[in-house]
Structure 1
């Protein structure tokens, strides 16, 4: 047996490896609340779901590149590394010569590995930049609307990236009003790695000190029961109406902080006038909100008064802005915090994303971490990440984004490394059509994800367990030496080695590799950091060899943050980077764009699909599609923790007992979930921890259209994104709206098809790729 150490986005660990290659995982000894997701890690060592050799789609190999409706349904051929790399180099050169670098889409979402060097997004962007660049995406599926709104309203992304620290909240906050909750499951994950999981400890200590909690969510378990919070369960998607009514009460009862508004805000007059009906003739009273949200008017008034009388922190989860008009609940909550006048006070104000990941609320390190330089991308084309299907389906079409009029590029080669858009994206039937349009789709991945299955060429990548790296995150206090736990499975190669081989064929090897192997790069990144950022930060880092033997390096603590404390004290000196230098309750800039779906100040806009809409007559249940508790996104869906959560092999769907009774359904049934866009099978879990007429189903079950076809549905495994809509939040943010959809649920009748999506497709045995030379 041997021992090794590594790190994931959900925790650092050590591995005890047996002679047969299996291993046990032990969390880092400093972790007070290790994540259950570590139980999924050993699944990466097996061959199940792994891409063991390079594979090509027969239609692409035999007929050449081009749009192809067979993509996603064709036969796979196993090929040799050298021949497929030769063919790919020819295709890259063809696209570059005919369409330029803008014809290549460099797709990677960045969650593939906690490692600083073997970071798929950095690798693929560096490779493309060595060739002259590529079209890329901007913003994220997680908080795309917020990334565009916050710089306009607050001047930067500090509310999102570095809000008031948990240690300050723990000591000073009296009342936490949690819009969208503080789900402990999401705090298990931190981008880049996690040595500790401190969020639950901070909340428990705040509770013991006397802090009170109010949960505003249709899901009761969006706040740990031990915190004893009051539960308000508005109709999903109506948070903006509730927040505007809270604002109206503060103003009507003279509970708002006039001095803070005068000193620190602009656009106050327009916003306050809108509360009284200047926009539409309707005052945003608690009675108005009750008719929309279902929250009693008396409860709204009592909460507003309680907030004004307490040191109050508003928390807004990322989930609230992943919906149509997603900019509005966040902007309205910023306005509510401004009316309370506690922005910049210890433990008061607002934060966006507490518990959406574990890092938010831990102070961000001010010094750089070891990072692979990506070079310069001269291609100006950028598309919002959630608009990838639009870009593929409608090249040349104009669209609006953040005040500019843009045009989708003509993407001919899609190169996806370390990502799975068939997990993140919505309306997967539409995405399947979009993926049939490019000339070539190249995927590098360790696993046969749905994205890999919709490619032309699939190259097997190593997992983090099969390579050495550096593990660190900007919110964490350790730099970890990530050991090679296992030898590469099958013919898997590091993404770096694959890209280096392609770069060599394309005459860009020196620009990409600078003459270094991957091991030399990891040592170089560490030593460059040790001699520069570490010295400037006062970190006494040992030489690389000594660091690897030690296994980790403790970094000095970062100072706690009280967000906007300086601005509050002296808004003239500490101006925000907004046009006014102040918080913009009404933005003249946004108003000038003329977007009816995102005007110049926070407003309630009725979504097309919610329980108050005509669509609810046919689809009377509101689906909340949230992040899973048993895996990170879709990663290691076949791992032990994820597999244990399934119901008869399907992703679980939770439903209120009243709704289950009405449909004659029982716990453990396999059900069909239908929306206007698609359908899937799910395993029913009956629970009173939901608002009636609300169902909940997590994202991340691998898309299985084969089992779906056998069952007469779009997906037979339970990928919730066959149900959700592929539309942007607004013309401002163009963010993801995958959090909500209206559905109906019924019992599944007939023979239950087997879920085989975690098994690799069987390559064709009757056709040899060597018989079809390029």
Structure 2
């Protein structure tokens, strides 16, 4: 058995040299996840890309989007594929320069640090002069822009978050807006070797800590928390938080000494809460009308928060919505009003349960990384605005106080990612993908993005190549020798880019004369801290532990001890309850202090008369994003071969459906088919349909996804003008029993392929 690392955990694997024959969790993981079961069944699935392919229309007619997403693909040799691609890259760079190329990769392709697809692509394009890049992420778009104005950058917040062990030991009350999701906490960027969410939550509860989970889903927190479940209307958390602030203020429970010393702008915010600025007191009664949470419970919860050591934590899901900045900002404000920021077990947290890394103590050293070089241009878009860029070149847009213009992109190069999973309003994205002259994709599988490309190059899976890996905050660095030979004619991204770079005259710039093994040794030895064994010993052992400082990690502890000597990175150096900078941008949808802003699609909106269910499009349980959706574990979680839609019994009865039925979920943007699960853990008025099912548009009705991808229903609308972040968590829908002949799901097999002219290579 050989140890390997994936984004969802470390596992031991057996192989016969060609395929994995067995996997089991690493013995050192106290809470392993069954997601590893997807790897064996997916490795040689029929949806693997086995050789290079070119879309027939592009091959015969030249660059252009006509037919993209519908035409068959023609198999070609590696030699021809690389020659065609090198010629097209050369043409675009000559005619348009770096501004004509979008390096659209996303960062989840591989847990290995060298074969990180995003880094490989960006280094290659930088060798050619640069590319249009994306900033921020679909998961954290609003937070990454807002938080530097309020308390500090998202990277710092993740690294410095109060350790889970400290919460387990010191916290009296955890108020978890969006819960502490056990399914999300098993995954992490770069890997997650040890999982402990059930353990730390259980220890805290056994010591007497209480948990309150505020979510439309009761199971958004481990059972061991024995949590109280408060289920406001989705998208109304900001109103609930404003009412909690009103009680703290009105009853003299706010810590004015803390607010005066450590924050700026409190008086501007509290004038809004008191109604001085708009004539509306943000009382529990006001909030009850919006949230449907009883006013008496809101008032009592505020008092409980002030009575002991309280942690206010906000999940990533809340900011992944229209006006998503507001509940996140209000979470910081509530923690500041309680005066416990910087104390063990108290204060604020963002993302406990959203990823494995949050709450892990910072390790003493980072891990080796493949250098990406320097981008020759500074042109970018927020990552969630790709459809806008492709559909509206030259148009202006707001972003964090700047007025920018969308570039006119000729070629899209995607390596290690699937925007047809992450993005919203997939019919609109599909239209946008017809606009570039050329779309290039490296992938191991025929994902929707690969099916909407012109040149598709087969990439290896991580089990088929040598690498090393460690999670974002994980102290375990693993050697990752190749476990099997590649599937079919698949090649490593590095090898593909090295050959392209050679054709384009930048081979030495890209490779520096090193093959994969030489790069692994070079990067490790460059990084190796004192006392850490050399590369040969590390590779022989298979792993090493990176030191973690032996101290209690508490967010803002140094700032609390001396805010002048250890100021925050905000403009004032303090927590900014009112931000002069944000106010100066003049954005109506993100003013200078947090407020309740009603989204366009919520259960109190006029549209809810027609579309009476709030869709919650959260992350899936049986896979990471859309990865390995064809794997056995992922397939077993489907209902009638489609993504499972959870409904409260009252909503199922009103529609005459039961567990196992197939329903049509629809709104004005599109529709999808899903299999019903009736579940009391879902709030009435909510339809919960996780993302991740491979997009499968019906040829007879392209607005319909046959497989249950909820992003045919979600709006391609920014969280706000400030962040331009993704708002794909919530939408209004209706659900009805599907009465027709069920259309066949097709994404579990390749698209139409022609083997003409493709010698073995």
Instruction: Bin the TM-score by the shorter chain.
Output: over 0.9
Aligned partners of 1:47 and 1:489 also within 8 Å: no
How many angstroms apart in 2 are the aligned matches of 1:556 and 1:376?
31
- 2:712 is the alignment partner of 1:722: yes
- 2:666 is the alignment partner of 1:674: yes
Give 1:81's match in structure 2, choosing from 78, 82, 87: 78
How far is the alpha carbon of 1:763 from its aligned partner? 1.3
> What is the SS of the residue equivalent to 2:354?
coil
How far is the alpha carbon of 1:5 from its aligned partner? 2.3
How far is the alpha carbon of 1:161 from its aligned partner? 4.1
- 2:637 is the alignment partner of 1:645: yes
Aligned partners of 2:42 and 2:632 also within 8 Å: no
- Partner of 1:92 in structure 2? 89
How far is the alpha carbon of 1:463 from its aligned partner? 0.4
**Aligned pairs for 1:535-614 within 5 A:** 535=530, 540-558=531-549, 559-614=551-606
Question: What are the ranges of 5 or more consecutive residues in structure 2 without an aligned counterpart?
Answer: none
> What is the SS of the residue equivalent to 1:442?
strand
| CA deviation map 1:340-369 (0-9, x unaligned) | 111011000010000100111001224221
How far is the alpha carbon of 1:323 from its aligned partner? 0.4
Aligned partners of 1:500 and 1:509 also within 8 Å: yes
| CA deviation map 1:11-43 (0-9, x unaligned) | 111111247734111211110000110111112
How far is the alpha carbon of 1:280 from its aligned partner? 2.2
- Partner of 2:734 in structure 1? 744
How many angstroms apart in 2 are the aligned matches of 1:163 and 1:542?
30
| CA deviation map 1:502-558 (0-9, x unaligned) | 10011000000000111211121112112xxx22xxxx3222222112111122224
How many angstroms apart in 2 are the aligned matches of 1:377 and 1:329?
35
> What is the SS of the residue equivalent to 2:754?
coil
- Partner of 1:731 in structure 2? 721
How many angstroms apart in 1 are the aligned matches of 2:79 and 2:32?
43
How far is the alpha carbon of 1:665 from its aligned partner? 0.8
How far is the alpha carbon of 1:710 from its aligned partner? 5.2
How far is the alpha carbon of 1:276 from its aligned partner? 1.3
How many angstroms apart in 1 are the aligned matches of 2:557 and 2:499?
51
Aligned partners of 1:186 and 1:627 also within 8 Å: yes
Aligned partners of 1:182 and 1:356 also within 8 Å: yes
Question: What are the ranges of 5 or more consecutive residues in structure 1 without an aligned counterpart?
Answer: none
RMSD: 1.3
Greater Cα shift, 17-26 or 728-737: 17-26
How many angstroms apart in 2 are the aligned matches of 1:365 and 1:49?
39
Q: 1:19 to 1:489 in 2, by over 3 A?
A: closer
Q: 1:19 to 1:421 in 2, by over 3 A?
A: closer
- 2:522 is the alignment partner of 1:485: no
- Partner of 2:678 in structure 1? 686
Give 1:656's match in structure 2, choosing from 648, 666, 689: 648
**Aligned pairs for 1:140-179 within 5 A:** 140-157=137-154, 158-179=156-177
How many angstroms apart in 1 are the aligned matches of 2:97 and 2:387?
21
Greater Cα shift, 453-462 or 469-478: 469-478
How far is the alpha carbon of 1:571 from its aligned partner? 1.3
TM-score by length of 2: 0.98
**Aligned pairs for 1:160-309 within 5 A:** 160-309=158-307
> What is the SS of the residue equivalent to 1:200?
helix
| CA deviation map 1:700-759 (0-9, x unaligned) | 000011xx3457851000111111000110000110000001000001112212212021
Aligned partners of 1:680 and 1:718 also within 8 Å: yes
Q: 1:278 to 1:574 in 2, by over 3 A?
A: same
Give 1:109's match in structure 2, choosing from 106, 110, 131: 106
Aligned partners of 2:13 and 2:20 also within 8 Å: no
- 2:757 is the alignment partner of 1:760: no
| CA deviation map 1:199-233 (0-9, x unaligned) | 21111101111100001001000112232111110
Give 1:439's match in structure 2, choosing from 425, 437, 440: 437
How far is the alpha carbon of 1:406 from its aligned partner? 0.2
**Aligned pairs for 1:225-624 within 5 A:** 225-530=223-528, 534-535=529-530, 540-558=531-549, 559-624=551-616
How many angstroms apart in 2 are the aligned matches of 1:311 and 1:697?
35
How many angstroms apart in 2 are the aligned matches of 1:712 and 1:569?
59
Aligned partners of 2:323 and 2:719 also within 8 Å: yes
How far is the alpha carbon of 1:279 from its aligned partner? 3.3
> What is the SS of the residue equivalent to 2:753?
coil
| CA deviation map 1:379-405 (0-9, x unaligned) | 100110000110011000000000000
> What is the SS of the residue equivalent to 1:364?
coil
How many angstroms apart in 2 are the aligned matches of 1:433 and 1:557?
49
Aligned partners of 1:365 and 1:474 also within 8 Å: no
How many angstroms apart in 1 are the aligned matches of 2:223 and 2:141?
30
Aligned partners of 2:364 and 2:547 also within 8 Å: no
Give 1:628's match in structure 2, choosing from 616, 620, 624: 620
How far is the alpha carbon of 1:473 from its aligned partner? 2.1
How many angstroms apart in 1 are the aligned matches of 2:534 and 2:569?
40
Q: 1:180 to 1:16 in 2, by over 3 A?
A: same
How many angstroms apart in 1 are the aligned matches of 2:393 and 2:426?
19
Greater Cα shift, 206-215 or 224-233: 224-233
Q: 1:456 to 1:279 in 2, by over 3 A?
A: farther
Detail structure 1 runs of 4+ shifted over 3 Å in the superposition: 709-713, 767-770
Aligned partners of 2:18 and 2:485 also within 8 Å: no
Aligned residues: 757
- Partner of 2:67 in structure 1? 70
How many angstroms apart in 2 are the aligned matches of 1:551 and 1:20?
21
How many angstroms apart in 1 are the aligned matches of 2:694 and 2:507?
36
TM-score by length of 1: 0.96
- Partner of 2:120 in structure 1? 123
> What is the SS of the residue equivalent to 1:220?
coil
How many angstroms apart in 2 are the aligned matches of 1:649 and 1:259?
58
